[in-house]
Chain A
C-alpha cells in the first residue's frame, strides 16, 4: 500500500457510527438492500472474510481515497422524519410569489389526478428509457400522445419524445439546420444563423455557447432586418415573442427559403390552441417548452421541451422518437424508432449528444392534453388570453401605456424613463412578480393559474384602482384581440384518445392501464448496466411537489429563493466532498450536457492561457458514445485510444497518441471505473501522462456509484467530472428523464463554470449558459439532498461497497453459465459486470436479444444489451436490491441457459423454442390452439415464483425493421 491509508468501511447498524443527535438513523439500512447476514453470506461465497477485504481487492490501493468521506453539510445522518423536517425549514425560506414574469415559464394547474398518479407514482417514475419495448408499452403510448399533441399544435408532421429544455432544443435546431443545409449543397460553407432579437434571453445564451466552438456565427436582429445571404443556413424566430408580440413570419420565412436556409420557430403550445400553427406558415422546425401543460415551474425545471419538423427531415431529428410498428402477430406495437442514429453507435459522427429525454414530464404534458382534450385546451387558452386582454384594456382605460391588440398572454407596459426597476420592485412588495425588460418597459404574463384577483393586483401596481366586480364584468365582455390573419381556424386533437377520458374515473383508469403495461422497479429489479437503477425512496420524492420548491419561477427575485440557495450550497458542497473537487455547477440537465459543459470549460481554460489551439480530445474506444459526440460539440477533434485485451486503456497507445498530439492536446475523457466494469490500476498514470502533455482530464461520472466514499476522482488526477444525480444520487430515471448532470472541477477551472444571461452566477469568465435555467432542473435537487442527508458520509460509503459486492456476487453466481468478460487484477469486477453470450449463438443460434426477451417471461427487465461489447449483457445490480432478488435474477438467467442447452440438445426445436418466441403474451398462452414444441407452462411460468406474481408483456416480439422502414410517430397510425 502507498502512503495513502485505506480507511475501513464502517458497517451500518450497531457500532454507533450512523447515529445522530436524535438516535440511530435507519435510512441507510433501508436504502441498502443487503442485510448484515446477506453481506456475510455473499462475502463468504466469494471466498473472502470481509467486505473490507473485497473492497481492498477490487480498488487498486493507490486509487483508494486518502481519508474517509466527510460531508460538511451533513455531519450526521438524519432519519427520514428529521430530514423532511429540516428540508421543510429550508423550503419555508422560499417565497412563492404570483409570477407574471413569463419568458417561457408559466404557472399552471397540474390536475391532481396527474400529480398523484403519474408525477408521484413509482409505477411511472422509476423506469429507464424504454429500450425493452414489449414491457414499456404504457409509457410508449403516453409518449406517442405527447408527440401527437406537439404535431397537432405545431402543424408539423413529425415530433420527438421531448428534449431537455427550450434553449437546448433551439440549439439542436440550429445544428440540425446546418447539417441539413450543408448536405443539400455540398462544398458550400454556410455558417451564419440569424436569430430574432425577440427570443427569450436564456435561449440566446444557450445558442451562443453552443455556436462558438462549432464556428457558427449567430447574428441577432429584428426579423424585419434579417439579411439572408449565401452564407445563411437558418434562422430562429419566437412566436409569440418574448415580449408577447404576435406577428406574421410568413414573409421572413419565405426569404429564408429563398437562399436555401431553414426556419425554426420557438413557440408556445398553449398559444397555438388559438394561433395559426408554425407549420402552416412555412416553418421547417418548431421548438419550445411543454411546461405549461400541467408541469410545475419548479424554479426552472425539469420540463419537457418539444421538437417538431417536416417529414423529409425525420431522420435528422435529435433525441428519441417513439414510432408505431407491429409485433410478431401483426398487432400494433410501439418502440423507440431509428435508434442507431444515436451517439452510442455513431460516436463522433453523431450530430447531437442528446440521449436522455424528459419522459416523465412529456408523459405529464401529453396526459394534460388527454385530460382536457381540444375543447378544454382551447377554453384554457381563451381564458388566459381574456385575462391578459382585460388587464391591458383596463390599464389603458386607466391611462397606462399598454397595447390593445397583437398579443396572446403577455403584454408590455411603458412606465416611463428609468422607472421599470422601480415599478418591478414595488410590485414585488405586494407579491406580484413582473419582468423589467429595459429601463422603461415592463411586461406582464398571464397563465392558467391566474384569475380576477390577479388582474386587480396588477392594476394596482400601475396605480389603476378597480374592484373585483368591475374586473369580472370586463372579463366577461372581453373578446379576442388576436389579429384575424393569425387565428387558428383548423381543428386539432380529434383522435379518440383526446376525446375519451374526460371524467376522472375514466382518466384514472386510462393512466392505470398504461402503468400496468410498464415494468417498473415497483415490480422487479432493472439491472441495466451503466444506469444505476437504485431505490428512489418515497421520502426523497415527497419534497419535489411542495409548493415552496415547485411553485417558483426560475427568474424569481433573489430575496424569494433563500431556501433554494441554501439547498444548492449544501448540494454543491457535498458533491465536492464526494469527488474531492473545489467547485460545482448544477446547471447541466443530463450526463451528456455535463460532458459538454466540462469540455467547454476545459476549452475556455486553454484559451485563457493562450492555448486556444489545443483541440485534440483523446477518448478510449471503450467510452460511452456520448463522449466523442460531446467532444465534437465542444469544437474538439477526437483521437481514439486503444484498449488492451483485458479491456483497460492501452497505456502505451495513450503515451504514443499524447506524444504525437502533445502540442495540441486538450483533454482526455475517461470513465472510472471503466465502462468495462473494472477499476483500472493504471488510472493515476493515465492522468499524469495527459497532464505532462498539457492536457486536462475529464472523468465521465457515469460509474460514480462505485466510487462515492471510497475513491475521490480529484486524488487520482481528474480535473473535472460530471455526476449523474439520476444514477448515483437517487433522482429517479423518470422512464427516460429527467436527469441531472452537474459538474465538479478543480480550482483552476472554477472561473469558467457556466453562468447565465438572466441570473448572475458569479462565474465572471464563465463559458455561458449550457441550459435554459440557471440551476438546471432545480426542483428535483431536493431528492439528492434528502439522499445525502439521510445516508450520511458512512452510509454513502456502505452503499458503494454493497453495489460492488452485489455485482461480484452476481458475476460469480453466473460464471459457470456465462463467462465474465472483464475483471480487475485480482479477478473481481467493480459495481457492474459484463457476461458473455456469444457462445449461445454458436451453440443454438441464440442471440443476446433472444435472452433479453426471454427474461421478460421470467419477470425481469434485461440488463444492458450488447454494450459496450457486442453479444454481451452488462448487469448492474446496485446496492438497493436484496440478496433474494439477486438470487431470483441469477436463477432466471441460469434457467434460460439451460433452455439454450436444451435447444442444442434437441429437446426444443431450433426455431420454435421458448427463446425465439419470447416474450409470451396472455394472448399467446390462452389461445385455443397451442402447437409449439414446448408447453404453455414452460412458455409463461418456467419458474415457480411466477405463479404468485406474473408480469405479462403487453405485446409479442416487436418488428423493429418494419417500424424503421415506415416511420409513424403519431396516434393516427396506432390502434
Chain B
C-alpha cells in the first residue's frame, strides 16, 4: 500500500498536499480499499468555509456512505468536478486524479501538526 512521504495524513484517513497557496485534500489508499468501489462523491460548494474536523463531503460506495472530514480549516477553492462522472478515480488514483477539494486560506500550522506518512502507516498497521 502506498503512503507518499510528501503528503500529510489524518487519523480519519484523509491526506493533504500543499502546493503554493492551496492545499489539496483526498482520501488515502487505505480508506478507498476499505470503502470499496465508490459510486458517488458529494462535493461541497466552492467558496464554502470549512472547519478542521468538520464534514467536508460524503463518499458513497455500495456498502457504505461516509463523511470525509476537513483536515484543516479554510475556504473551498476548487472541487474536483471529474468525480461527478467518475467517482471511481478515487479508487484508481487516490493520491492523484482522485483528489477531492483544494482549500485556500488555511493555516500552515494546522498542516504541520498533521501526521507524517510514517505515523499514518503505523496507525493503519501497514
Residues of A within 8 A of B (CB): 183-184, 186-187, 315, 338-341, 345-346, 349, 866, 960-961, 964-965
A/B interface sample: 29 pairs, CB < 8 A:
A183-B45, A184-B45, A186-B44, A186-B45, A186-B48, A315-B40, A338-B40, A338-B60, A339-B62, A340-B60, A340-B61, A340-B63, A340-B64, A340-B65, A341-B65, A345-B64, A346-B65, A349-B67, A866-B63, A960-B62, A961-B39, A961-B61, A961-B62, A964-B39, A964-B60, A964-B62, A965-B39, A965-B40, A965-B88
B97 at the interface (CB under 8 A from A): no
Inside 8 A of B37's CB, which chain A residues have their CB? 961
Segment 44-93 of B: residues with Cβ below 8 Å from A? 44-45, 48-49, 60-65, 67, 87-88
Chain A: which residue is nearest B42 at the CB level?
A: A315
B28-43 contacts to A, CB under 8 A, are 37, 39-40, 42
* Alpha-carbon distance between A345 and B44 when the two chains are bound, in angstroms: 21
Given contacts A187-B49, A341-B65, 5 further A-B contacts (CB under 8 A): A340-B60, A340-B62, A866-B63, A961-B61, A965-B87
Nearest-neighbour CB distance to chain A for B40, whole angstroms, equals 6
Within the complex, the shortest CB–CB distance from A842 to chain B, in Å, comes to 15
A187 to B42, CA, bound (A): 18
* Chain A positions within 8 Å of B48 at CB level: 186
User: Complex Cα distance A341/B39, Å?
Assistant: 12
Q: For the complex, give the distance between the alpha carbons of A341 and B62 in Å.
A: 10
Chain B contacts for A964, CB-based, 8 A: 39-40, 60, 62
Closest to B67 in A: A349
Q: A961-B37, A965-B39 are in contact. Are A341 and B45 (CB under 8 A)?
A: no
A866 to B63, CA, bound (A): 10
Residue of B nearest to A345 (CB): B65
Q: What is the distance, in angstroms, from B47's C-beta to the closest C-beta of chain A?
A: 8
What size tier do the contact residues of chain B reach? Answer: 10 to 19
Min CB–CB distance A320 → chain B (angstroms):
15
> Which residues from chain B contact A346 at a C-beta distance below 8 Å?
65
A341 touching B60, Cβ below 8 Å: yes
Could you say which residues of chain B place their CB within 8 Å of the CB of A345?
A: 64-65
B interface residue numbers (CB < 8 A to A): 37, 39-40, 42, 44-45, 48-49, 60-65, 67, 87-88
Overall SS of chain A's interface: helix
Tell me the nearest residue of chain B to A186, going by C-beta.
B48
Q: Which A residues are in CB contact (< 8 Å) with B42?
A: 315
In the bound complex, residues from chain A placing their C-beta under 8 Å from that of B40 are 315, 338, 964-965
Q: Which 8 A-B pairs have the closest CB atoms?
A: A964-B39, A340-B65, A960-B62, A961-B37, A965-B39, A186-B48, A340-B60, A345-B65
**B-chain residues with CB within 8 Å of residue A183 when the two chains form the complex:** 45
Nearest CB on B from A338, distance (A): 7
Across-interface contacts of A341 in B (CB, < 8 A) = 60, 65
Alpha-carbon separation in the docked complex, A960 to B60 (Å): 12
Q: Please report the C-alpha to C-alpha distance between residue A187 and residue B61 in the assembled complex, in whole angstroms.
A: 28
Minimum CB–CB distance from B66 to chain A (whole Å) comes to 8
Could you tell me the distance in whole angstroms from the C-beta of B62 to the nearest C-beta in chain A? 4
Chain B residue with the shortest CB-CB distance to A962: B39
Q: How far is the CB of B125 from chain A (nearest CB, A)?
A: 15
Contacts of A961 in B (CB 8 A): 37, 39, 61-62
Q: Which residues of B contact A338 (CB under 8 A)?
A: 39-40, 60
User: A330: shortest Cβ distance to chain B, in Å?
Assistant: 18
B76's nearest neighbour on chain A, judged by CB, is A186
Residues of A within 8 A of B45 (CB): 183-184, 186
Give complex CA distance A183, B65 in Å: 18
Q: What is the chain B residue whose CB lies nearest that of A316?
A: B42
Smallest Cβ-Cβ distance to B44: which chain A residue: A186
Bound Cα distance from A186 to B37, whole angstroms: 29
Which residues of A lie under 8 Å from residue B44 when comparing CB positions?
Answer: 186
A349 to B64, CA, bound (A): 13
Tell me which residues across on chain A come within 8 A of B64, comparing CB atoms. 340, 345
Residues in A neighbouring B60, C-beta threshold 8 A = 338, 340-341, 964
Which residue of A338, A340, A866, A960 has the most chain B CB atoms within 10 A of its CB atom? A340
Question: Bound complex: CA of A961 vs CA of B60, how far in Å?
Answer: 10
- Determine the distance from Cα of A349 to Cα of B69 in the docked complex, in whole angstroms: 14
Chain A residues near B62 (CB-CB < 8 A): 339-340, 960-961, 964
A187 CA to B50 CA, complexed, in Å: 11
Give the nearest-CB partner of A961 in chain B.
B37
**Chain A residues closer than 8 Å to B87, beta-carbon distance:** 965
Instruction: Select the residue from A183, A345, A961 with max chain B CB neighbours within 10 A.
Output: A961
| Cα(A346)–Cα(B67), bound, Å | 9
Provide the bound-state CA to CA distance between A338 and B60, in Å: 8
Of B45, B61, B62, B64, which is in contact with the most chain A CB atoms at under 10 Å from its CB? B62
Complex CA gap A315/B87 in Å reads: 14
CB of B67 to closest CB in A, whole Å? 7
> A340–B39 Cα gap in the complex (Å)?
10
- B residues in contact with A184, CB < 8 Å: 45
Distance of B90 from chain A, by nearest CB (Å)? 12
Report B121 CB to chain A, min CB distance, Å. Answer: 22
Q: How far, in Å, is B22 (CB) from chain A's closest CB? A: 20
Chain A contacts of B88 at CB under 8 A? 965
Of listed B37, B48, B65, residue having the most chain A CB within 10 A:
B65
In the bound complex, CA of A839 to CA of B31 (Å) = 22
Q: Which residue of B lies closest to A185 (CB)?
A: B45
Expressed in whole angstroms, the Cα–Cα distance for A964 and B63 within the complex equals 11
Q: Which residues of B contact A339 (CB under 8 A)?
A: 62
- B32 CB to closest chain A CB (Å) equals 13
Residues of B within 8 A of A960 (CB): 62
Return A473 CB to nearest CB of chain B, in Å: 60
Alpha-carbon separation in the docked complex, A315 to B40 (Å)? 9
How far does the alpha carbon of A960 sit from the alpha carbon of B64 in the complex, in Å?
12
**How far, in Å, is A787 (CB) from chain B's closest CB?**
36
Which chain B residue lies CB-closest to A865? B63
Give Cα distance in the complex from A866 to B62, angstroms: 13
Q: How far is the CA of A960 from the CA of B39 in the complex (A)?
A: 9
Docked pose: A960 CA to B38 CA in angstroms: 11
Shortest B79–chain A CB gap in Å is 13
A340 to B48, alpha carbons, bound, how many Å?
A: 25
A346, B65: Cα distance in complex, Å: 7
CA distance A183 to B42 in the complex (A): 11
Chain A residues with CB under 8 A of B49: 186-187
A802 nearest CB across to chain B (Å): 34
Q: How many Å from the CB of A401 to the closest CB on chain B? A: 54
Shortest distance from the beta carbon of A968 to any chain B beta carbon, whole Å: 14
- A341 CA to B59 CA in the complex, in Å? 10
Q: A244 to B121: give the CA distance in the assembly, Å.
A: 66
Assembly CA distance A579 to B62 (angstroms)? 39
Q: How far is the CA of A345 from the CA of B63 in the complex (A)?
A: 9
- Residues on A with C-beta less than 8 A from B65 are 340-341, 345-346
A965 to B88, CA, bound (A): 9
Cα A187 to Cα B48 with chains together (Å): 9
C-alpha gap A677/B41 in the complex (Å): 35
CB distance from A157 to the nearest CB of B (A): 18
Shortest Cβ distance from A340 into chain B, in angstroms?
Answer: 4
Q: Inside 8 A of A349's CB, which chain B residues have their CB? A: 67
B residues less than 8 Å from A866 (CB atoms): 63
Min distance, Cβ A217 to any Cβ of chain B, angstroms: 25
A contact residues around B67 at 8 Å (CB):
349
Closest-by-CB residue of A relative to B63 is: A340
CB of B93 to closest CB in A, whole Å: 17
Q: How far is the CA of A341 from the CA of B48 in the complex (A)?
A: 23
Closest Cβ–Cβ distance, residue A343 to chain B (whole Å): 10
In chain B, what residue has the closest Cβ to A849?
B63
With A and B bound together, what is the CA distance between A349 and B67 in angstroms? Answer: 10
Determine the distance from Cα of A856 to Cα of B120 in the docked complex, in whole angstroms.
41
Chain A, residue nearest B39 (CB): A964
Cβ–Cβ < 8 Å partners of A965 in chain B: 39-40, 87-88
Query: How many Å lie between the Cα of A622 and that of B37 in the bound state?
Result: 26
Collect the chain B residues with CB atoms within 8 Å of residue A315's CB.
Answer: 40, 42
Instruction: Give the docked Cα–Cα distance between A315 and B42 (Å).
Output: 9
B42, B44, B63 pick with most chain A CB within 10 angstroms: B63
Q: In the assembly, what is the distance between CA of A187 and CA of B49, in Å?
A: 9
Q: Which residue of A lies closest to B60 (CB)?
A: A340
